Chain A
């Protein structure tokens, strides 16, 4: 498939949050403030991009030649976990300001299903390196985009007069549903 097609579809029509339901925990959890949403988005993008390249190389040059593709799940989650740890250490040591603003999100990324999900999609769809990177970039930008729009919407919704039992998570889910319907028809 064309890399631009992959980029656009993953960015809008097949958005990670809205159609693949990945990263919903952080979507519902952190999207209370605009700044948090952006911080989370940037850290996720960084981790996804690098681990996409790492897992692609590991899969192609280690797992497939040794005929051990069934180890993909274990290997990939280890790569992500280690990479997140290393990133945290490096940022902590050399970029103190960045660490202060991103620090709390980094450990959460290991268990963010978006990261693992995007990497699995790359491998399962047999993308080559360029296509994988394009899928990763599109998905992450889609993640940031939806997270950001949703934060803005949520601030407005919180102040509205809604049923008491629908406050919080339920109304957030219904909003996300309407967003998903709109995004599915955009292209």
Chain B
């Protein structure tokens, strides 16, 4: 997706002038954000820069003090996490929120189980065959490899668990998926596995927001990169036309001109990470 295309189509999800404060702390001030179908947007920033708050506004956990929430070009009223979920914004939290004691199918459908038809519906009997069928189709669509649909999630690797957590967000016809640190705590191979899944989400026409500390991952998978700094949008970069140094500069406030030692070191670390994954 090129920059011109981005500019002409209606964003799937758009925030305009969003502000949010917690007591005396201004966590977000006048932030604009948009993401299009088939686009992966990175959201980076230092600790406390406001990226988590921004994502929580998108997922409906935080209600902004001011600003507009648009989905598919229409202004939406969001009064809790159920609203964005209902119109198609799903969140995958860093701690995954999987039930290790349940199998893959059960985890994919937790909280929105399919119920059998007929008299068994009265006692809310689970329609296991239907759930297993849908689960199989979903995992095939996104080429997610797991040993068995009926294996306990607790027996699986971090990459598989992350994939299942992402797949779960897709069960309810999500259009935009918010991923909170999807590659934190994953090894190199597992990170590659999850990033490949993010690309497949893009191919299927979903919008994916990736919050990450790892610039190597962000550059590997994202089309655009939003940099947050002190509750404001410090810049939006086309990943193809920018360098990790520029991003680090924006994150630290150096803007690529005054490169502090820390920024340089961080950039170096980012480069190293990038090489490691390749």
Tell whether A and B belong to one assembly.
no
